[in-house]
Amino acid sequence: MSIFQNLALAGLAAVGLAACGGSSGSSISTKPLAGTVNGQPWMFVDGETDFFLSSNPGDHFFAILYDTPVVASCTVADPPLSKGHLILEIPKMPGVYARGGTFVFPDPTTGRDDNDIATTGTLEVTSVSSTQITGGVKMSFDAKNTVDGQFTISVCQQ
């Protein structure tokens, strides 16, 4: 599966979770976003929206959050190498939403990315500008895939 197919599938899954009303049941940590992805420690470092996959002029952004710096921000370059990343569908309006996202990590047996879609989640969008989004997320799939905390990501223009 290509990265765009993985991203599109994960985005659709996030929409499904939002429609189901999944919720973490507790507040989001005020600490930086961190947790585990595929059982490995994970800490948010950088992230950005994907202009091509974000609905424009729709009501949400398609965003990818990494545990490594984005080298060529807002370009159509390959994503940075990482232990894993998160895919979130972020509403363009501030608020608290019952939705999670997708945990993406390399599968060493196939050489492709694997996806675990959060079964519980809360996303808080604190602020949205033309250049960045600030918020927090608490979501989990299982004990090996769970994150909680705050993030700020870049909004990529075409």
- Alpha helices, DSSP H, located in the chain: 3-20
Q: What is the mean predicted confidence (pLDDT) over 74-91? A: 79
DSSP lists the bridge partners of residue 150 as 32, 136
- Examine the pLDDT at 3 and tell me if it is beyond 80: no
Write down the pLDDT at residue 58. 78
Write down the pLDDT at residue 158. 65
Rounded Cα gap, residues 13 and 42, in angstroms: 22
Write down the pLDDT at residue 96. 96
**Closest C-alpha to 7, from 98, 91, 101, 81:** 101
Does 51 or 44 have the greater pLDDT score? 44
Residue with tokens 């091509």, as numbered in its chain: 52
Contacts for 97 with CB less than 8 Å, ≥ 6 apart? 18, 91, 122, 123, 124, 125
Rounded Cα gap, residues 158 and 151, in angstroms: 22
Q: What is the pLDDT of residues 25-46, one digit of tens each?
A: 569 999 999 999 999 999 999 9
Q: How many Cα neighbours within 13 Å face the side chain of 130?
A: 2
Q: How many Cα neighbours within 13 Å face the side chain of 86?
A: 34
